Structure 1
C-alpha cells in the first residue's frame, strides 16, 4: 500500500472489540502513528497546556469537554512531525459532530479519511471479554478467566508469593460494561451509518483469531488504497 498524501484511518467498534490491538499492529505495519483521544487528553492535562487547562475547567465542574476543544486538541496532535504521514485514529471521532468537524479539519488541509474499519463483535462476546479480565495488584499482570487464567493463589510470577492479589477492576464489572455499551450505541454507533454513506466503511469479523482479524484488515486496506 502506497500513498503520497497523509493516510487517516478511523477505527470503529464496540468497547472490547480489539480496536486498540489492531491499531497497534497497523502502526507497526504502516508506520502511521496510533492516536488515542485518551492519550491526547492525558498529555494536555499532565503538561498543563492552554487546551488542557481549558478542558480541566469543564471537567472540574462535572461537565463534558465541548467538541470544539477536543477537536483543537486533536488538530494540535496531528500537526506534530510523527503524524506527517497520517494517523490511525483510535477512539476518535466518538460522535457525529466530531466526525463532521474532523472531516472539515482534514478538508481544510486537502486531506481526508481513507478508510473506516468496523471491528464487529456481539454484545455477548464483549461481556465475556471484558468481564473476564483480572489484574494482579502485585505485578500488574493482566489475565482472563477464559483465555489466560491467572496463576493459582499465592503464585504471583513477580515478587513475594504471599502478596499475590488478583482482582477485577471496576470498569470490567458487568454493570459498567453494559453502561459502556449503552453509551457506545447512543453516541458512537451512528458513525457506522455516517461512514457507510461516505463509502468508507469496511466491516471485519472481530470474533476471529487476532491474526485473522489483522489479515482481513490488511486486505481491506490494500483494496481501499489500490
Structure 2
C-alpha cells in the first residue's frame, strides 16, 4: 500500500497534481479542502464550524480535521493507498495520522512538497479566484494570511518527515505535465 502526503502552499498545484496521481497509482484522493467545501456547501455541522475558520483564512483546528480524515479513510477499506492533499498541516496532525495508520498496520510512504515562490502563488490564486468563486482566493490579504499560517504551522512538517527519511521536495513551477513527471519520478523510486 502506498500512502502519500502531498503538500505545499495554497496555489502550489496540489489539487491539480492529485487528480493525475490518483489515477496513475490507483490511490484514494483525500483533500481536506474538498471535504470541507462539500460540508460547507451542504451546511453540515462540520461545514458550519469549518467555515468560520476558513473565512478568516485560519486553519481548521486539528481535532476537527483529524476526525474528519479518519472517517474518510474508514469509508475506503479496499483502497490501494491514499493520497493526502492538505493534510497533515501541523505536527499534531502528522503524529495523529501516524498513530491512526499504525493502528491499521499502515504508514506514510512519502511526503512530497510542491515548492514555488510566494509571489507566483499569489498571482495564481488571484487568477483562480476570478473563476472559482472562492472568496479566500479573491483577497490578497487572506491569501498572505494563509501563507503565514502555512509557514508557522505546516513548514515544520518538513523536518518531521525528513527525520523519517520520507520527505521529498519537487519544483512546482512548469507545465502540468512537467510537474507530474517530477512527482512520478519520486513515487516510482521509493
**TM-score of the pair, normalised by structure 1:** 0.71
| Aligned: 1:181 with 2:176 | no
Alpha-carbon RMSD across the aligned residues, in angstroms, is 2.9
Matching residue of 1:19:
14
> After superposition, what is the alpha-carbon deviation per residue over 1:129-172, rounded to whole angstroms, capped at 9, x for unaligned?
2233453xxxxx56xxxxxxxxxxxxxxxxxxxxxxxx995633
Matching residue of 2:89:
94
Could you tell me whether the CA contact under 8 Å between 2:26 and 2:81 is conserved in 1?
no
Structure of larger gyration radius: 1
| Aligned: 1:109 with 2:95 | no
| SS, match of residue 169 in structure 2 | strand
Q: Which has the higher helix share?
A: 2
Displacement of 1:102? 0.4
| Aligned: 1:213 with 2:179 | yes
Which has the higher mean CA deviation after the structures are superposed, 57-66 or 92-101?
57-66
Could you tell me whether the CA contact under 8 Å between 1:103 and 1:113 is conserved in 2?
yes
Structure 1: segments with no counterpart, 5+ residues? 1-5, 136-140, 143-166
CA distance in 2, matches of 1:172, 1:193: 32
Matching residue of 1:84:
79
CA distance in 1, matches of 2:2, 2:104: 13
Could you tell me whether the CA contact under 8 Å between 2:59 and 2:149 is conserved in 1?
no
CA distance in 1, matches of 2:97, 2:183: 23
| SS, match of residue 113 in structure 1 | coil
Structure 2: segments with no counterpart, 5+ residues? none
Could you tell me whether the CA contact under 8 Å between 1:134 and 1:168 is conserved in 2?
yes
CA distance in 2, matches of 1:104, 1:89: 15
Matching residue of 2:67:
72
CA distance in 2, matches of 1:193, 1:177: 24
Could you tell me whether the CA contact under 8 Å between 1:11 and 1:91 is conserved in 2?
yes
Structure 2 CA distance for partners of 1:58 and 1:205, relative to 1, 3 Å: closer
Structure 2 CA distance for partners of 1:131 and 1:47, relative to 1, 3 Å: closer
Structure 2 CA distance for partners of 1:219 and 1:176, relative to 1, 3 Å: same
| SS, match of residue 127 in structure 1 | helix
Could you tell me whether the CA contact under 8 Å between 1:33 and 1:83 is conserved in 2?
no
| SS, match of residue 109 in structure 2 | strand
> After superposition, what is the alpha-carbon deviation per residue over 1:187-207, rounded to whole angstroms, capped at 9, x for unaligned?
111111111111111111111
Matching residue of 1:164:
none
Displacement of 1:118? 0.8
